[in-house]
Chain A
Amino acid sequence: MIQLLSRHREATLFLVLVVLFTGFALTTENFLDWFGLAEQTRYLIVPGMLAIPMTFIIATAGIDLSVGSIVAMCGIVLGLLYRDAQWPIALACLASVIAGLLAGTFNGAMSSYLRIPPLVVTLATMTLYRGIATGLSRAKPINQFPDGFVHLSNGDLIATADNAFYLPFPILPLVIVSIVGWLLMRKSWVGRFTEHIGENETAAIFAAIPVAHLKCALYAVCGLVCGMGALFNVALYSTAKSNAAMGYELEAIACVVLGGTRISGGKGSIPGSLLGLLIIGILRYGLDLAGFESKFVIIVVGILLIVTVVFNEWLARQGEQQK
């Protein structure tokens, strides 16, 4: 049983997903409404995008608590450059992505080269980047973005004529980021080395893996993806604000941990993280429809995170003992 669970984590998660889905479908009215389900996915896109690089970081036994703050900061950079500096929207978007890359590189350099634990660095930059967002925007929201831009998150990828069936456009970037993440994790040496670092960092150094450079790069790319996520987050609400993306770090980490990536590193699963995202998404939607407050959902996510972490570690220890 234990072996089954740890070996077929993704299958187990899929089963949980199906059970949840059926459960909600049977008990909650309007759950099986395509419009509602499709609209709901728009809100999952950004946490989902963040969960992909987070999977790599947690696989090295690191953590990035600053992702939500980077998303907010990049959103403000985008908004200010577009509104106040009158940059073309495309250029402003590019600047947002670069801002994210810089923020991530700072995290990575501080933790990899100065050897300050990443949780301390990113805890501090979580406040720092949020503070920059607040300071730059003076805590005032920025809105009135062009329609084309807003369509990034609110447009549709495919739609039938009567809108009975459609897929939201932002699914596309999430799918692209996930595929790139999966290819890197499973098919390239980047993912392999990432897992080696998390499994045994000393041995990784002795095996001539460029540990510090690689870790720094992972945080940098994580920042980059945050910068991209910022575009979709701003477009979704047609607003850039400094308190945007609050708690996204929790959601992203919860997806990753739920997906079977151990917090102590050594293994990362992109499909797992996506299944984690779907489970959290369905829970959120179902509980919402069933009339629970959004605050209640956050509690559920928090408890889910703790329970899975404890479960993951227990599972791993059982596995060790069987050997």
Chain B
Amino acid sequence: MSKPVLSLQGIQKRFGGIYALHKVDFAIKPGEVHGLIGENGAGKSTLINIATGLFPHDAGTVHLDGHPFKPDTPRAAATQGVYVVHQEADLFPQLSIAENMLLGEGLERNALGLIQWNKTNAHAARRVAALGESFNVRQDAAGLTVARRTMAEIATAVTHKPKVLFLDEPTAALSSNEIDTLFQQIEILKKQGTAIVYVSHRLNEVLQLSDQITVMRDGATIETGPVADWSMDRLIATMVGRSIEHGAGKREVPIGGVRLDVQHAQATTKAFNDITLQVRAGEIVGLYGFVGAGRSEFAQALFGLHPMHNGTVKLDDVPINIKNPRQAVKQGMAYLPEDRLVQGVFRGHSLKHNASVSILRKLSRFGFINNQKETDLAAQVITDMQVRTDSMDQPIGTLSGGNQQKIVFGRWQATAPKVLILDEPTRGVDVGAKAEIHKLICDLAEKGTAILLISSELPEIMSMSDRVITLSEGHQTGEFIPERDGEVAIAAAAVPKQQKDSCTSTKKASRLAKLLEFREAGLFAFILLLCAIMTGLRPDSFATTENFLDILVRAAIPAILAQGAMFIICTGGIDISIGSMMGLTAALTAMATKQGLPPIPTLALGMGLGILLSTLNASLSLIARIHPIIVTLAGISIFRGSMHLVTGGHEITLMPDTFRAMANGTLMGIPKICYYVIFVTAIAHIILRYTLTGRRVLALGNSESAAQLIGLSKTRLTCFVFAFSGALVGLAAILQTGFYGKVQSNCGEGYELQAIAAAVIGGTNILGGRGSAIGTLLGAFLIALVYNGLILLEASAYWQNIFVGSLILAAVALDAFLTRMRRAAQ
């Protein structure tokens, strides 16, 4: 017998006061497939996350190859050979699949450190091909189906020949062909000696693949044994267990008429299909299923949070059409959400305010809250729910999970609903609170409320429900009476059966949207069109070399600033102080020149100053952990004010010719300043497209959490983009001074908006993650062209600013529209 490659002993993990894991012993040998099963919330994911370095454990030991193993990050775990393929991959949606696969470990680069895209793509394509898949690795990850994303992740993990590979529900989205491929890969990996932990709700798959199976329940490993010892029935029985803590269960109450009647409900997203159910007054109907069964999606659609594609809903025999939660509440529905922290509580707000929110308007007259009524209500909720607290004014975040849950429950009970949907009402609460919540549910049923109870805990479903409906992968798979049919039958119906063929074909986005994707080409065509129109309107003045050069010069300074702004926006940030920063830098460098500083050192000084000021902006927003908009908003007035202080509000004129020669005049018939623009654009293009730093900047803007998973530093990347922008601000300041030979007190004013507009028009996503240097250059040119056109058409120059504002809005709205189209197409 070989020794285990990875072993966990006595692992404990608490979140707040609640144990997620309290007794986990798990070991896996090389070349073994180890099935890991358990209900939702049994602790499987927590186990994986601890073993792969997402968070540390509180007690116990982990060994890899006999040595203590405590990785700080998933990246660190991966370098030691422990990989994980998550069920829902955290991806960089606006980067190509090849990049998603390879960015963490490094893309293919040449001797200069520049990325070789052909090699990178070929490398990724090879990995995909090895899995027997054939999809275009150059495509954006956002356009990929979940199945293919999973396959891409598996492909990445497989090529590393890992020591240990965790597969978390890998087949949830796969079609039968893909599952066959996956199983073949698993066989190959086994032969290579990889230890595979296979987590799945599809028990037949687990039985088919595994050598060993471990069952978890309530944060502990219950039993481990070779596959020969297990059968489907025994797996289900062990998984479900026998719970003794649910003493009371449901009380007998008289069951009335049908209150909620749902016929053939179907989600637009296909998360659930053709669900038909009825809940009577006083009845508790349990809805049972595993991850991906579509339970919460169904409940939220009933409550008006998501649109329903098909189906009818009747409440007390009246057909209703609910479009938003407010209508749902008005009709007499209530929904206790699944994720208390995200969807339930307002952490920093008081108990009282948390309790009253759903009926606050009923407690108000002419909009004014009746304080007495609200206090009475909160007191009522606290007594009814037996919440243990000193004061209803203390923030709800200071209470235990169970008490928080009772307050949210009380909030909905106070609306006196006809139908109450409870989504995991006792998840993460202690045993005592659980029993109390169960009692409260019974009290409500007694009053004639129809209750739909969603839970992943079979014992809870068994003891509380009059009837149980099972869902599996979006389909209704059966209806049971708990006492009559028993829990094994219910669990068996909920266990996902064999692979349905998921629809892998992506609907094509509309042609319009497709066309608009080619932003640079479209922009170029638009510019040509504008030029053609202008030539037609003003043949004599527009279509001249002189005028063309004029447009180029006008575009130059904003174009340089825009490349920096583009980088900042790519990370999801913004700097609106660059205009003022440019003014201050111009004034200081001009004064230095006047003191006799030669041109080249002045240039260095200007860029240095820009980097300093800009990095200051970055550091402050990083320290306060706030969006840079606030810091740079203040920066506008600080920099502009400082500029006036140093210049005394006067212009600086008569710059020496040696200085002016840097920017003024022409070279080979073209203004010198244009060469700087070409140089800066080229640099920006190369950094963004061909360096790891550039790709990491984009990755950060795509998904901060995914960037963290592959070990990218937000601080470093943010400082980099701001420093880059600062250097360009310095350069722009010097060029502007050199070109005009003076620094006016409004130097740089309004340039921040032109720069941001140029970047956004050029296809930079204002929310981060996508940018283009060439597009930005074209954007700057377009703005200059519009200005020029307005002047030639003798339109008042005063209307110019309207165009910058409108162009930003139009570009951003276009982006929002495209994103929606893309989502609709998936």
Q: Interface of A with B (CB < 8 Å)?
A: 63, 65, 110, 114-117, 119-121, 123-132, 134-135, 137-139, 183-184, 187-190, 192-193, 195-196, 199-200, 202-210, 242, 247, 249-250, 253-254, 257, 263-264, 266-267, 293, 295-296, 298-299, 301-303, 305-306, 309-310, 313-314, 323
A263 touches B645 (CB 8 A): no
Q: Are A189 and B360 in contact (CB under 8 A)?
A: yes
Most A CB atoms within 10 A — which of B344, B576, B634, B796?
Answer: B634
| Interchain CB contact under 8 A, B805 and A131 | yes
Among the listed A130, A200, A250, which residue makes an inter-chain contact with B633, where contact means beta carbons less than 8 Å apart? A250
Distance in angstroms between the alpha carbons of A293 and B395 in the assembled complex: 46
Contact at B345–A125, with CB atoms within 8 Å? no
B438 to chain A, nearest CB (A): 22
Chain B residue with Cβ nearest A305: B634
Q: Identify which of B193-201, B204-212, B325-333, B485-493 touches chain A.
A: B325-333
Q: How far is the CA of A197 from the CA of B806 in the complex (A)?
A: 29
**Minimum-distance CB pairs A-B, first 6:** A128-B805, A131-B801, A131-B802, A127-B805, A299-B641, A302-B634
Give the chain A neighbours of B349 by CB distance below 8 A: 195-196, 199, 266
Query: B348: which of A126, A208, A254, A266 is its contact (CB, 8 Å)?
Result: A266
Task: Name the B residues within 8 Å of A110 (CB-CB).
Answer: 809, 813
B357 touches A119 (CB 8 A): no
Q: Is B428 part of the binding interface, using a Cβ–Cβ cutoff of 8 Å?
A: no
What residues of A have a CB within 8 angstroms of the CB of B631 in the complex? 306, 309
Q: Is the beta-carbon distance between B641 and A305 smaller than 8 angstroms?
A: no
Partner of A210, one of B326, B353, B623, B766: B326
- B15: interface (CB < 8 Å): no
Of B325, B750, B798, B801, the residue contacting A205 (CB under 8 A) is: B325
A192 touches B637 (CB 8 A): no
Q: How far is the CB of B71 from chain A (nearest CB, A)?
A: 26
The smallest beta-carbon distance between B262 and chain A, in angstroms, is 20
A residues near B636, Cβ cutoff 8 Å: 247, 250, 302
Interface of A is mostly: helix
Can you show 18 pairs from A to B with CB atoms below 8 A apart?
Answer: A116-B816, A121-B812, A132-B802, A188-B364, A188-B369, A195-B346, A196-B357, A200-B346, A203-B343, A204-B346, A206-B325, A207-B357, A208-B326, A208-B358, A210-B326, A250-B633, A295-B645, A299-B641
In angstroms, Cα B367 to Cα A266, docked, is: 20
Whether the Cβ atoms of A298 and B637 lie closer than 8 Å is yes
User: Which partner residue on chain B sits nearest A129 by CB separation?
Assistant: B805
Q: B335 interface residue, CB < 8 Å from A?
A: yes
Chain B positions 619-634 with a Cβ under 8 Å from a chain A Cβ? 620, 623-627, 629-631, 633-634
A-B contact sample (15 more), CB < 8 A, given A63-B629, A296-B641: A65-B633, A119-B629, A127-B805, A130-B801, A131-B799, A187-B369, A189-B369, A206-B325, A250-B633, A250-B636, A250-B637, A299-B638, A299-B645, A309-B630, A313-B626
Contacts of A254 in B (CB 8 A): 634
Question: Shortest beta-carbon distance, A111 to chain B, in Å?
Answer: 11
Nearest CB of A to B726, in Å: 17
Shortest Cβ distance from residue B306 to the other chain A in the assembled complex, whole angstroms? 11
Q: How far is the CB of B571 from chain A (nearest CB, A)?
A: 14
B796 touches A306 (CB 8 A): no
Binary A-proximity of B620-660 (CB < 8 A = 1, otherwise 0): 10011111011101111110111011000100000000000
Chain B neighbourhood of A127, CB < 8 A: 750, 753, 801-802, 804-805, 808
Q: Is B411's beta carbon under 8 Å from chain A?
A: yes
Most chain-B CB neighbours within 10 Å: which of A114, A189, A207? A207
- The chain B residue with its CB closest to the CB of A316 is B348
| A123 cross-chain contacts in B, Cβ below 8 A | 574, 576, 629, 753, 756, 808
Q: Please state if A293 and B645 are interface contacts (CB–CB under 8 Å).
A: yes
Contact check, A306 vs B805: say whether CB atoms are below 8 A apart. Answer: no
Cα A313 to Cα B624 in complex, Å, equals: 6
At the interface, yes or no: B361 with Cβ under 8 Å from chain A?
yes
Cβ–Cβ < 8 Å partners of B635 in chain A: 302
- Nearest A residue to B754 via CB reads A127
CA distance A309 to B808 in the complex (A): 28
| Most chain B Cβ neighbours within 10 Å, of A65, A126, A309 | A309
Q: How far is the CA of A293 from the CA of B766 in the complex (A)?
A: 37
Interface centre among B630, B767, B813 (most CB of A within 10 A): B630
Out of B326, B634, B750, which one reaches A303, CB within 8 Å? Answer: B634
A189 touches B766 (CB 8 A): no
CA of A184 to CA of B805 in the docked complex: distance in angstroms?
A: 33
* Residues in A whose Cβ lies below 8 Å from that of B798: 131, 134-135, 137-139, 242
* B337 in contact (CB, < 8 A): yes
Scoring B residues 744 to 757 as 1 if CB is less than 8 Å from chain A, else 0, what string do you get? 00000010010010
Which B residues touch A306, using CB under 8 A?
A: 620, 630-631, 634
- Tell yes or no: B104 within 8 A of A by CB: no
* B816–A135 CB distance below 8 A: no
> B398 contacts the other chain (Cβ, under 8 Å)?
yes
